[in-house]
């Protein structure tokens, strides 16, 4: 008779590995997230808002030189809240469409309730002795010069197209001459 044959136990088709360690297991993940948002949201400054933009100029005004401030708009961009305002200085100049980073998020929500052109109390906008703002750079007056250059270039483009056509015709003629010579 046949004795019982010992078969090795087949290995399972899958197996479970131990869990990997996460940031929470190490204890650093949640603490780092809470630290990111507990600080001032305006810390990165203007570079975060206008990294590639060159159409704004950054100006520092002394608090004593600011006479009045009028509301235009509030904007929250990339986690930073700022206000678009018009500023009148003591010497009578008016800086239109100036952007100022708000020190606290509560100021953003307070200003959100303001109407266009409404005067803003200075202590709401100016919290430090120096006010950092960005203002639009005036566009150069000689804007018509590039248009003349574009018109001149347009004439060159037509000449370039004609040149390409003439070269193609010349190559075709040369090809015909070579074919007739080789026969």
Cα(69)–Cα(19) distance, rounded to whole angstroms? 59
Position 73 pLDDT exceeds 60? yes
> At residue 42, does pLDDT exceed 50?
no
Task: Judge residue 82's burial from the number of C-beta atoms within 10 Å of its C-beta, 0-12 exposed, 13-18 middle, 19 or more buried.
Answer: buried
Q: How far apart are the C-alpha atoms of 137 and 129, rounded to whole Å?
A: 24
Lookup result for tokens 């026969």: 183
Tens-place pLDDT, residues 117-151: 899 888 888 888 888 888 887 766 655 555 555 55
Predicted confidence at residue 33, as pLDDT, reads 42
Show me where the domains of the chain are located: 46-136, 142-183
**Rounded CA gap, 104 and 111, in Å?**
11
For residues 19-45, average pLDDT? 48
Question: 3-class DSSP state for residue 90?
Answer: coil
**3-class DSSP state of 70:** strand
100-126 confidence digits (pLDDT tens): 888 888 888 888 888 898 998 888 888
**Quick one: what percent of the chain has pLDDT higher than 90?**
6
Q: What is the pLDDT of residue 154?
A: 57
Residue whose tokens read 């990111």: 36
State the average pLDDT for the chain.
Answer: 74
């Amino acid at each position: 008779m046949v004795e019982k044959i010992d078969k090795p136990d087949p290995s399972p088709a899958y197996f479970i590995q131990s869990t990997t360690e996460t940031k929470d297991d190490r204890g650093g993940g949640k603490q780092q997230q809470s630290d990111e948002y507990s600080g001032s949201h305006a810390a990165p400054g203007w570079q975060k808002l206008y990294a590639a933009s060159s159409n704004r100029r950054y100006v520092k005004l002394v608090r004593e030189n600011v006479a009045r401030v009028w509301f235009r708009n509030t904007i929250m961009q990339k986690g930073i809240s700022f206000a678009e305002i018009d500023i009148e200085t003591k010497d009578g100049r008016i800086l239109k469409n100036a952007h100022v980073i708000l020190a606290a998020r509560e100021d953003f929500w307070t200003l959100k309730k303001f109407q266009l052109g409404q005067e803003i109390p200075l202590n709401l906008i100016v919290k430090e002795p120096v006010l950092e703002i960005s203002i639009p750079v005036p566009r150069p007056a000689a804007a018509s010069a590039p248009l003349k250059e574009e018109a001149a270039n347009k004439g060159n483009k037509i000449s370039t197209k004609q040149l390409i056509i003439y070269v193609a015709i010349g190559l075709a003629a040369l090809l015909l001459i070579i074919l007739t010579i080789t026969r």
